[in-house]
Amino acid sequence: MSLLTFTTIYAQRPASGPPLTAGEEKVFLLGADSITINKLPDGTEIRRVVNKVIFRHKGALMYCDLAIHNVASNALEAYGHVKIVQGDTVTVTGDTLFYYGNSRLAKVSGKVVTLKDRKRTVTSNRIEYDMASGVAFYPDRGKTVDAENTLTSKQGYYDTRTKISTYYHDVKLVNKKYTLTTDTLVYNSLTKMADFRSPTKVVSKDGTVIAKNGSYNTETGESVFRTRTTIDNPDYTLTGDSLSFDNLNKKGFAKGNVELVSKNDETILNGDFGQYNGKLGRSKVWGHALTRTVISKDTLFMTADTLYSIEIQGAKALPTKKASKNVIDSDTSDAQKPRQLIGYKNVLLYKKDLQSKCDSLIYNSLDSTITFLKKPIIWSGKYQMEADSIVAQLINQKLRTMYLKAKSFVIAQDTLFNFNQVKGRRITAFFDDSTRLERVFVEGNGESVYFAANEANKPMGMNRVECAKMTLNFKRNQVNRIQFVGQPDGRFIPPQGVKAEDKQLDGFNWRIKEKPTKTDVLAKTNFKPKPPKIVKPIEKPQDKTNQTVKKEVLKTKVKPKLKKL
């Protein structure tokens, strides 16, 4: 008795099948050129259909050249020119199809397998498509392409209904404006939002973003980063514990351990919060704000409630250290944009040759001036200067001239620890190449106290002079010569006649204890410099020959004889 029953049917394709029913449970054969029906002893019917095969299930059509259809398990195997059409939105093509009708899972494989909807195409050599949920999965390397982006990864999911894709391992998203690489990415084709939860790099013509957790709008360039992130471009580097950035308008906001590095003028801003506006060339940092600016092999440290770095619009670019002296006239490709560095409220400044406390401060790199506002006090060496406002002029990045305006007071401590003093409405102080006080010019209600000493540095007495205008010349912190304009009113007091009250002009206040140090500035901002890397010295190889000789010498060394007791 035969175990199988074979029935071969050759039939014309039906002119029309039953009406489409979205809720039908069984896979329905719409047509084929030939059908071979195999019946197993248990009654299971296996159909082999050949040429121009069409199946339908749950409203989806499946095409192939040859198919094996298990009627009982509601599954089929399809080979050759496989195509699935689901509604008018999704089409899947490949070489081989395994379809499980009860779960509606389609496994398509081939040299090139594609899943297309209206706006994107997924390509791989294997795609598993859950027709019930509309989710496609490729377990091997695949690619998703739409009008703006090409996205590749080792594994990926695509939800044809929500248009949300999830990609894993060696993920790369390429757009004409940027390239994004990561290890895990969730991408919404409708909102154009890319969400990542692993180390990610976004590279564009405007710079590079390094992040671990965030969202990126691939259309507008707007982004939100939830962990420590760095944005790096040719002009600056912005880093923060969390960060948002608008690439179109070139605006960034950072929060937590913010660091903004201006590459053109070697300026670093640190703080709790930071803002950057690339179009206007403005940066703002506040909350434990600190700036470090390199000035002629020295670093200017400054803290304030708020720090600003503002590009001076319309000004000619300045040469960088790498550029030649004539770079402004010849080529600005290696030139830096002149900027204003502003400290607002509670300013402390430290530079090796200059320290200050003031309400606000403006450093202008275009003319190398520092303006101190609202009753500032400045120390330079053994000099102390106060006024309602002060302007410091730097030449070759060294302090050369100081302009004190209104209620000006200059104190210079000499080698005998006496205080030479000058006060007036306006004072201009000149410094030599070593930043030592060289000359002081006083205009309006000038008063001075200066101590005289001989060549042996022995005190000779003290002078008190009042004059509308006067010029005092200093040498080694001592008044060497004085010139008056108009009739001076003065007196000389010998050493034995100098009283304590005569030694000080009205308003004298030696505030050396308030002079900020580098440590003071850094401590106020809770900034901790990175410790230098300790490089272990390379050990020289030992001379084995010499060691062998030493061992042989020890072996042959004569031991002393012990005397018997």
Q: What is the pLDDT of residue 293?
A: 83
pLDDT value for 412:
87
Lowest pLDDT segment from 71-75, 292-296, 439-443, 552-556 = 552-556
Whether the per-residue pLDDT at 79 is higher than 90: the answer is yes
At 534, is the pLDDT very low, low, confident or very high (cuts 50, 70, 90)?
Answer: low
Average pLDDT over residues 133-147: 94
pLDDT (tens digit, 9 = 90+) per residue, 258-296? 998 888 777 899 999 999 888 888 889 999 999 998 876
Q: Return the half-sphere exposure (C-beta side, CA atoms, 13 A cut-off) of residue 214.
A: 29
pLDDT of residue 547: 52
- Summary mean pLDDT of the chain: 84
Q: pLDDT for 381-391, tens place per residue?
A: 888 999 999 99
Domains and CATH numbers, the chain: 1-140 (2.60.450.10), 375-530 (2.60.450)
Query: How far is it, in rounded angstroms, from Cα 202 to Cα 214?
Result: 12
CA atoms of 395 and 225, how far apart (whole Å): 43
Count the helix, strand and coil residues of the chain and give each as a percent rounded to the nearest 5: 5, 60, 35
- The neighbour count for residue 72, using CB atoms within 10 Å, is 11
DSSP assignment of 491-510 equals EEE-GGG--GGGSS-TT---
Note the pLDDT tens digit of each residue in 432-455. Answer: 887 788 889 999 989 999 888 887
Contact by Cβ (8 Å): 127, 138: yes
pLDDT score for 329: 32
pLDDT band, very low/low/confident/very high, at 477 (cuts 50, 70, 90) = low
Q: Give 241's DSSP letter.
A: S
Mean pLDDT for the stretch of residues 342-365: 92
Average pLDDT over residues 508-535: 82
Please state the pTM of the whole predicted model. Answer: 0.72
At residue 14, the pLDDT reads 43
What's the confidence (pLDDT) of residue 179?
92
Contacts of 282 (CB under 8 A, 6+ apart): 275, 276, 308, 309, 310, 311
Task: Find where tokens 């040498």 sit.
Answer: 475
Query: Distance between CA 266 and CA 261 in Å, rounded?
Result: 7
> Rounded distance, CA 25 to CA 56, Å?
10
d(CA 189, CA 197): 18
Number of other residues whose CB lies within 10 A of the CB of residue 118? 9
For the stretch 378-426, pLDDT in tens is 998 888 999 999 999 988 878 889 999 999 999 988 888 889 899 999 9
What is the C-alpha R_g of the chain? Answer: 42
Average pLDDT over residues 167-179: 92
